[in-house]
Amino acid sequence: MEDLMSEEEPWVKGKHSFKLGKGTKITVLSGAGISAESGVPTFRGPGGLWDDESLVKLATPRGFMADPVRGWRFYDERRQNMAQSQPNPAHRAIARMEQAGYDMVVITQNIDRLHQAAGSSRVIELHGTLWEIRCTNPACVSRPFENHDVPLKDIPLVCGLCGSVMRPNVVFFEEMLDSHVISEADRRTKQTDLFIVVGTSGIVYPAAGFTHVARMSGAYIVEMNIEPTPLTPICDETVLGPCGETLPGFFTRLTGGEIGFP
């Protein structure tokens, strides 16, 4: 890789050539890496939940419905962990840019709603959220609803309308993403001027595909991660390091110091 990182300079690739304006459309694609810095376990990587095959089975429709009590105990534990996690400086920097009047949209693979907790109001959740619950009965007329009980009062949760087991309103493994959500994210990606990829491995599709869509649509692409990814070759700039440190610094440079990021 060109321009390898030195102790003084964290930028590993790129010439810092993007010029920001108030009308600039900025889109952030965030992955598990940004939440990991807030203490939320990832599914992949060292120590990730992916390492435990039995837990992965609970993240599939068949595995969850085979034992809803065990499934809900697993997700209840995840919810308890997330409830203790707080937005980190990367989450807050993204929200601060929106609050300063910039056209900011977040497309996230994360289900913890830490972006919203930081103050971001325009968040497209590709994989849903653990803080919503929905019925497993496709014929039921109930709608997904928010539930912030930590710990859950009843396990498993049962629908008050039809009596069926309820589930987290997240996209399980082996399930398709919501087509309306994908269309919304795709439309925004094609309109964006600056596309920032934060804390994502670049191997999970269709999320990773949005970076390619942004590239083909003419966006300037910046990647922030702790190591290079399969997306690095198509990015205009790549920054290695904790995004809680690098993203506030990037926005400080981008705005010419106009906005402070404590």
- 229-239: pLDDT as tens digits: 999 999 999 99
Least confident of 85-94, 110-119, 195-204: 195-204
* pLDDT at 10 (0 to 100): 53
- Strand order of the β-sheet with 123-125 is 11-13, 237-240, 220-225, 194-198, 25-30, 103-108, 123-125
Q: Which of 127, 148, 180, 212 is catalytic?
A: 127
**What would the DSSP string read from start to end of 121-144?**
--EEETTEEEEEEEES-TT-----
pLDDT digits (tens, 9 = 90+) for 185-224: 999 999 999 999 999 988 888 888 999 999 999 999 999 9
- Which residues pair with residue 166 across a beta bridge? 135
Instruction: Give the homologous superfamily in CATH for domain 1-39+87-127+177-262.
Output: TPP-binding domain (3.40.50.1220)
pLDDT band at residue 42 under the 50/70/90 scheme? low
122-160 per-position pLDDT tens digit: 999 999 999 999 999 999 999 999 999 999 999 999 999
Kindly list the domain boundaries of the chain, sorted by start residue. 1-39+87-127+177-262, 41-84+132-170
The pLDDT of 236-244, averaged and rounded, is: 94
Residues 41-84+132-170, CATH architecture: 2-Layer Sandwich (3.30)
Active site residue 127: yes
CB 31 within 8 Å of CB 198: yes
Query: What integer pLDDT is reported at residue 20 of this predicted model?
Result: 92
User: Backbone phi, then psi, for 153, in 5-degree steps?
Assistant: -80, -35
Give the model's pLDDT for residue 3: 43
Output the pLDDT for position 7: 42
Confidence (pTM): 0.89
